[in-house]
Amino acid sequence: MSERIPRGEAANNFVNDTQIHLYARRVASRVPQPARDRFVNVSYGVLHSDPRNARPLTPDELPEAPDWAQRAFRQGRPLHVFTPHPDAVAPVRSTARALKDTVFEFNFLDTAPKKVLTPRDIVIWQEAREFLAKISRMSFDAIAIKAAKFKDERRRRMEAAADSEFWCARDDIYTAPGRGWYRVRSIGELSELGRELGNCLRRPSPQHARFAGRLKAGTAHYWALRDHCGATLMAAMADSATGRILDVRGPRNRHVTHGDPDLVILMRARRLSLSPSVFFLPPQD
């Protein structure tokens, strides 16, 4: 294992200083302008100043070193070789990814019709515009903090957009005046249904991803029974291939009474049958 320069000692006099520039440019290559050039410069400074990226030049490497380095070596001056250390370059790489997302998010918000943006989107757009306008004067630490914030905001907005995407057509079945079954069409609706009923359909339940995956793939469909006030009374899950209801529950995973009339209407309307594994409460008198 190569010897490293102890933390606290100056990691200068790199015989391969050009490699630091190349490394910084490579890391920043996916960062769009106007942020890329500034990020290359500040990344170079971070990589150059971190002693973890430096190791002493060995005598075996001296013949291939430039003339100035050979003269410095004969004078007893310390010479270092740039060797990226995983822990030292990780913040540079993560900040580059965050900065890329920042520029992408700003470009999206900047070109989107302002009438479709939320108040929060407008604030993020304004802050990102100011950040990119001032980035040429900012330090690496300041860039890292700001970029991480905008990356999180981009992820939040994209998750919200994905949650609202419809994966099936609208389908309503009325069972009684002011009450009916409604087909769950999006991941957001599925999570909200789980939140209302207090069960594992909601995010961040460990089972949520599996149920959401089946909704997106179309291998299962979900139904919510709601009253005239919009309160959820029951949820049902059916397998798309077999047409069998795999589970049906009320609030807090309460089991449904056998022969429930609302469930019977759903089954008849969509030609569904019950899986033998579904557990029901005894019929009411």
User: Hey, how many other C-beta atoms are within 10 angstroms of the C-beta on 111?
Assistant: 7
User: Hey, how many other C-beta atoms are within 10 angstroms of the C-beta on 217?
Assistant: 10
pLDDT at 77: 78
Domain boundaries, given as residue ranges, for the chain = 17-162, 172-274
Residue 68: φ, ψ to 5°? -60, -35
In tens, the pLDDT along 237-272 reads 999 999 999 999 999 989 998 889 999 999 999 999
The label of the residue with tokens 């998750």 reads 159
Of the chain, the percentage scoring pLDDT greater than 90 comes to 68
Write the burial class of residue 167 (CB in 10 Å: 0-12 exposed, 13-18 middle, 19+ buried): middle
Angle at CA of residue 13, ends 56 and 25, nearest 5°: 100
pLDDT at 251: 92
User: Which stretch of DSSP H or E encloses residue 221?
Assistant: strand 220-226
CA distance readout (Å), 10 to 7, 14, 185: 8, 11, 60
User: Hey, how many other C-beta atoms are within 10 angstroms of the C-beta on 260?
Assistant: 19
- Pair of tokens at residue 48: 């150059």
pLDDT at 264: 94
User: Parallel, antiparallel, or unpaired for β 54-56 and 80-82?
Assistant: antiparallel
In tens, the pLDDT along 117-164 reads 889 999 999 999 999 999 999 999 999 999 999 999 999 999 988 999
In tens, the pLDDT along 38-94 reads 999 999 999 998 889 888 877 777 777 777 777 777 777 778 888 899 999 999 999
pLDDT at 54: 85
Question: Which amino acid appears at position 239 of this protein?
Answer: D
Tell me which DSSP letter residue 57 carries. P
- Pair of tokens at residue 226: 């709601």
Question: Which amino acid appears at position 56 of this protein?
Answer: P
pLDDT at 1: 37
pTM for the model: 0.70
Check whether 13 has a pLDDT greater than 60. yes
pLDDT at 284: 63
Report the range of poorest mean pLDDT among 62-66, 144-148, 166-170, 192-196: 62-66
Q: What is the mean pLDDT of the chain?
A: 89
Question: Which amino acid appears at position 11 of this protein?
Answer: A
For domain 172-274, the CATH superfamily is: Gcn5-related N-acetyltransferase (GNAT) (3.40.630.30)
Write the burial class of residue 248 (CB in 10 Å: 0-12 exposed, 13-18 middle, 19+ buried): buried
**pLDDT grade, residue 31 (50/70/90)?**
very high
Of 135, 108, 146, the residue nearest 33 (C-alpha): 135
Q: Which residue has the higher pLDDT, 39 or 280?
A: 39
Report the range of poorest mean pLDDT among 1-5, 143-147, 222-226, 273-277: 1-5
Check whether 10 has a pLDDT greater than 50. no
Check whether 285 has a pLDDT greater than 60. no
Residues forming a β-bridge with 172: 182
Peptide bond into 51 cis (omega under 30): no
Helix (H, G, I), strand (E, B) or coil at 198: coil
Of 143, 181, 188, 210, the residue nearest 269 (C-alpha): 181
